[in-house]
Amino acid sequence: MHDVRELIELGPEAVRRLARRRHRLDLEALGALHRRRVEALETVDRLRGELKRSSRGPQPTEAAREESRRLRDQVQESEAVLRTVEQELEETLMGIPNLPLDAVPDGDSEKQAVEVRKGGPPLRPAAGQARHHADLGESLGVLDAGRAAALSGARFSVSRGAGARLERALASFLLDLHTREHGYTEYSVPHLVNRETMTGTGQLPKFQEDLFATSVGGRELFLIPTAEVPLTNLVARELLEDRDLPLAMTARTPCYRAEAGSYGRDTRGVLRLHQFEKVELVRICAQEEAQQQLELMVGQVEECLRRLELSYRVVLLPAGDMGFSARMTYDIEVWLPGSDSYREISSVSDCGGFQARRAGIRHRTAEGRKLPAATLNGSALPIGRTVAALLEQGVQPDGSVLLPEALVPYTGFRRILPGGAVES
């Protein structure tokens, strides 16, 4: 969420930057709403002062008591006006996305993303050997789309045998890498959170249709779309000390997404499911350190892919294609030969102070100033999409799939054979 005073102070600059996200900021209406709030607050303060003064002094007369009653009524009325104006202002600010940094390119789709670099081994397999992971999963006996559909309908997946072991191995490998070498603290967090928690990271109110919700006994809870939500909110409404920053947190959780508006896209395989597992990274730091922390996180995602021997590229997203809370986002895209394309496997975003203002996350500087912190998040990595890439890039001429050496200590095997058997 924005500080309304900063938006008004930026003026036409804020309008220009938000226009790059295809968002029209009505600066005049926002300014008028802010002035109404200031005036309402001044009225409340004035009337409270008058009421306090009227209650002082000797034994009050009936006239003085009547004046106090009148002032109390006016205070209550003015407070109600203030609450209404503040709610209107908050709802307006909640609908304004983050300001993109000027380093972010123009454009509103992934087609305008700017390639930064490529990494990993040369693209493989050889021409004519490429296969879609859904077909590979069936022939290897590790994915069962039919039984998943029977259980839950479209956009769910069942893994079995070596496939389920591979998923468990991947999660353990990624968490070990991030906690032992990248300095993250691992958390186990709730998968159901309240409305305030969802609002803190920007999922609500704007993206309610993309969320799965439940209400039992009058208690409203939401299934998390990513561990970013509970991890970031672990320090909601807290004042952090500069000496303790940056915070680095990671968790493996299931993620639940309604995928509203995506029907008809990626209907085969495991690229776009209602439920999937992911290892998430969250960092919280001072705002002046956010860009350095962003580059660090991108490097950590790349290290995952290098150790998994996967071909990938890094792209910088255009302003109109970033998430609501982000001011700069890198997508790391893995090569999927089965569809002859690069596909997103991780988004790493710098949100500046946007989420921190919503969630009340502040830090105290060495000079004693209390400022909104910066929050950053990234996938490292989603389990299903990583399995898809390992299958498609690791397929051999005989139909088996060769896995990277880094996973062998976790899987206990190096190769998956057609039918589901494994070889070390």
Catalytic pick among 37, 252, 362, 385: 385
Catalytic-residue membership of 280 = no
Catalytic-residue membership of 157 = no
Catalytic pick among 20, 252, 257, 415: 257
Catalytic pick among 131, 160, 195, 272: 272
Q: State the Cα–Cα distance between residues 26 and 15, nearest whole angstrom.
A: 8
- Residue 38 CA to chain centroid, in angstroms? 33
- Residue 205 CA to chain centroid, in angstroms? 14
Q: State the Cα–Cα distance between residues 361 and 317, nearest whole angstrom.
A: 26
Catalytic-residue membership of 343 = no
Catalytic-residue membership of 349 = no
Q: State the Cα–Cα distance between residues 253 and 360, nearest whole angstrom.
A: 24
What single DSSP character describes residue 158? -
- Residue 174 in contact with residue 300, Cβ under 8 Å? no
Using alpha carbons only, give the angle 389, 349, 212 rounded to the nearest 5 degrees.
75
Tokens of 331: 């997508």
- Residue 398 in contact with residue 385, Cβ under 8 Å? no
Catalytic-residue membership of 36 = no
Catalytic pick among 289, 306, 344, 364: 344
Q: State the Cα–Cα distance between residues 164 and 387, nearest whole angstrom.
A: 10
Going from the C-alpha of 306 to that of each of 56, 312, 329, 331, the distances in angstroms are: 74, 9, 20, 16
Q: State the Cα–Cα distance between residues 264 and 246, nearest whole angstrom.
A: 41
What single DSSP character describes residue 59? S
Burial string for 57-86 (b: 16+ CB within 10 Å, else e) reads eeeeeeeeeebeeebeebbeebeebbeebe
Q: State the Cα–Cα distance between residues 261 and 243, nearest whole angstrom.
A: 44
Which residues carry out catalysis? 257, 272, 344, 347, 385
